Each structure stands twice: as structure tokens, then as C-alpha cells.
Structure 1
Amino acid sequence: MAIAYRQRVDDDTEFALWKIEEEADELYNQLQLDADEQAYFEQLSKGKRHLHWLGTRVLLRKMLNTDAFIDCKVDAHGKPYLVNLPFQISMSHSFDYAAVMISKKSPVGIDIELIKEKVERIANKFMRPEEMDFIAADNNRIPQLYVCWCAKEAVYKCYGQKEVSFVNNILLEPFKFAEQGTLQVSLDKEPVKNNYKVEYMQYEDYMIGYVKG
């Protein structure tokens, strides 16, 4: 499978989606792994997690348009970074899709989620009561909740630090749902207070949120 969707955000930033239709061996054969990556890969259980890890790295390789070894590490906070290439990156995956966002100048965050009814049961784990007040009471309620989740997750990844509460530290401004749009998000965790404009879009049965710091 080639890249399923690709969008340039600005002159320095873009993201893309890869639909994972390959077997693990086919994806694996497109990569070059060092000893650490090989050891980590071998620890992964077979199945979707296995394919997601491969899919994000194949997609990263396609976006950077290189067959050379890409030294992609993960820092102490779990944020991926490139050792020898001048790009900031963010990765996500959900069911059949992998997503990667890259930027030459700024930190980035991306999240992709399959839209499912279960989000309403866990909404109080990531939404404040005042945020729930602006969620639609119609057929858009479930997709709008996924916009909220993806936006908070994208900001969390862009910020790149642990110990951040989606409920207490990442706050959403009211917005009306559309299949594509933007919303204002603030991250408030002493001593940091950052404001973000998160963009989102629905792609097939998935919601995607992405942000540039």
C-alpha cells in the first residue's frame, strides 16, 4: 500500500496516513533497524501493535524519501525524535492506519482514532464538566468527543512531557463540530502556559487531530 493521504500544513510541516494492508514481513523488509530497534521489535507481541510499529516507521521513511538508515529514538518522556535529521516528528496509529507528522522548525503532535461509541463511556476521564456542556446532543456527539480526545492527545504529544492531565491541564475552548475545522486549546501546567490552534478532520471512519507548536 502506498501513502493513503498526505497533507501539507505549511512550508515546513506535513502529515500523512498509511493504510496498513501488508503482512508484517512485507513492512519489515522496507526498513533498516539498528540493534536497539531490532531488540525492541522482537519484544512486541504479534498482531496490531506489531504492525503499527512497522507501519509508522515505513511511513516515516516514505515521507523523508530515503532508503538510508533513519536513527529514530524515543526520549525519557516517550516522545520520538530523529538523531541525525533536522525534523521534529510525531506518530500515531489506530486499527488499520498509521499517521506521521513532520516539521523542519517546530514541535508537532498528531493523533488518529477510529470513531466508536465507547468514547461516551470514558468522556469524564478526559473532559471537564464545562467542556461537556458544549458537546452536541445530536448525531455529531460521538465524532465531536473524538475531536476533543484527538486535540488533547495532539497537544500532549506536541508538548512532549509526562505528568500532564487531560482533565486538569489541557483545556478546550467551545467549538461547533464540522467534519473539518479548528479549535483553541490551552495547556496550563506550572510554570508552562501555552496556547495552541489544533486542526482536525474526519477521514473515513477516523478522526485526526494535529497541531504545530
Structure 2
Amino acid sequence: MPLYKTITVNPNTKVFIWKIEEPFESLSEGMDLTSNCAARVSNMKSDLHRRGFMSIRHLLDLGGYTDHDLYYDENGKPHLKDQKHISITHSFNFSAIIISDVEVGIDIEKQRNKILKIAHKFTPIEEYRTIANEDAMIRKLTIVWCAKESLYKSFAEKGVSFLENIYVEEFMFEDKKTTATVSFEEKQEKYNVDFLEFEGFTCAYALIAEE
């Protein structure tokens, strides 16, 4: 069972990361899906997406839940029936969830140079022009993207712009954490963001900052 990493963020918050190595059939064995989820996975054309979907169910199991404990609201945000907060992510051969007593978000992304072409769409790119090394810029921008994606998932309001409404404070790679703010219409939320890098991937998870 390739549980890749478990992170205990605090006594009420855990991150579970899965490295997807098994075939779909192995991941499906013994998994009791809701009828809706069974239909969803059967309609997926990508084997990697199907395997990612099932790996999430294994992570739920590690957190003490089943597919029947998970539901989505009208904005597509996942929830748990016991009122705990959850966020879910999947990228290529990694998937992850975070479960907490407070609002959370998580994202995993593969570090790829294509992020250089889209950076202007989600962050003021001039802030990163001083980074001479392209690999370092890719790493930095991927962390910023993951942070913003995790905040977007947690905030879950339609119309939020990565570029206009989500701000990530400057950080150093060795910090492995930063802070961020989402400001949208009359609502503003501050978050603490942690990040890690592994096997060419970046993972960031955000917890709403408690007063």
C-alpha cells in the first residue's frame, strides 16, 4: 500500500499523500462506492484519473472515512458528514487529502516549465524576474500556484481571481511556509500555508488563520 507520507500539521489536522503505483483493479478491490461515484469513475476515460479517484478513497479510509462520508456542495467543494473540513488533490501519480477542524485547502502539481508561460495569469510575474535560474523560477512559481489553488479551494467563492484576489506573501524555499490572503467583495480571509517538494512535485496546504 503506497501511502507516501502522513503529515500531522497539528492535533486536529492531518495530510495524507498517496503515490499511485497500483492498477485500477487493485485500487478498486474492497472499495464500497456510492452509486454516484461508481458511475463517475466508470465514465472516466483516463486510466490515470480513475486510479487517482480510487487512491483518494484509500486516503479517506486512512483518515477514518468512506466514500459514503463525502459529499460536494453546489460550488463543487468537498465536505465530510461529521462537519470536519476536507480538501482533495490529484496530479499525475500523486494524490492527497487534508482533514481538519478548520477550513483547509490542498494542491499538488508537477513542476513543469509550462508554468513560465501562464505565470502572468495568476501572479505579478515581475516579482520573479530577479530569479536568474530557470529551474528555481519554475519551483517558486509552482509553489505560488499550489498555494493559490489551495486557498481557492478553501475559500470556494465563484468569481475569485488568482491574480486579483489571492495574495501570497514572499518566502524563501527553506522556509517551507508562508502566509496568504484572499480578498473578495466584502470578505477577507488570512491563511497559513505550508509547502513541500518531492520527486519533481510540489504540494501546498493552507489552513485558515484563527483569530
* TM-score, length basis structure 1: 0.90
Tell me, which stretches of 5 or more residues in structure 2 are unaligned? none
Aligned residue among 182, 202, 205 for 2:197 = 202
2:105 is paired with a residue of what secondary structure?
A: strand
Q: Specify the alignment match of 2:35 in structure 1.
A: 35
Q: Does structure 1 conserve the Cα–Cα contact (< 8 Å) formed by 2:128 and 2:137?
A: no
2:67 & 2:168 partners in 1: Cα distance?
39
Task: Give matches, 1:1-213, under 5 Å.
Answer: 1-64=1-64, 70-83=68-81, 85-103=82-100, 105-129=101-125, 131-132=127-128, 136-138=131-133, 139-178=135-174, 181-213=176-208
AA at the equivalent of 1:81: H
1:112 is paired with a residue of what secondary structure?
A: strand
Q: Does structure 2 conserve the Cα–Cα contact (< 8 Å) formed by 1:173 and 1:184?
A: yes
Identity of aligned residues (%): 31
AA at the equivalent of 2:20: I
1:27 & 1:155 partners in 2: Cα distance?
29
1:30 shift after superposition: 3.3
Q: Does structure 1 conserve the Cα–Cα contact (< 8 Å) formed by 2:2 and 2:20?
A: no
1:59 is paired with a residue of what secondary structure?
A: helix
Q: Does structure 2 conserve the Cα–Cα contact (< 8 Å) formed by 1:61 and 1:70?
A: no
| Residue-by-residue CA offset, 1:10-31 (whole Å, 9 max, x unaligned) | 0100101111111111111231
| Residue-by-residue CA offset, 1:172-209 (whole Å, 9 max, x unaligned) | 2222233x511121101011111112111112211110
Relative to structure 1, the CA distance from residue 114 to residue 69 in structure 2 (aligned partners, 3 Å threshold; closer, same or farther) is closer
1:7 & 1:149 partners in 2: Cα distance?
21
AA at the equivalent of 1:19: K
1:117 is paired with a residue of what secondary structure?
A: coil
Tell me which protein shows more helix as a share of its residues. 2
Relative to structure 1, the CA distance from residue 43 to residue 117 in structure 2 (aligned partners, 3 Å threshold; closer, same or farther) is same
AA at the equivalent of 1:14: K
How many pairs are equivalent? 207
Q: Does structure 2 conserve the Cα–Cα contact (< 8 Å) formed by 1:172 and 1:184?
A: yes
2:161 is paired with a residue of what secondary structure?
A: coil
Tell me, which stretches of 5 or more residues in structure 1 are unaligned? none
What's the C-alpha RMSD, in Å, of the aligned pairs? 1.7
1:185 & 1:50 partners in 2: Cα distance?
33
AA at the equivalent of 1:101: I
1:76 & 1:69 partners in 2: Cα distance?
18
1:57 is paired with a residue of what secondary structure?
A: helix
1:48 & 1:161 partners in 2: Cα distance?
29
1:69 shift after superposition: 5.7
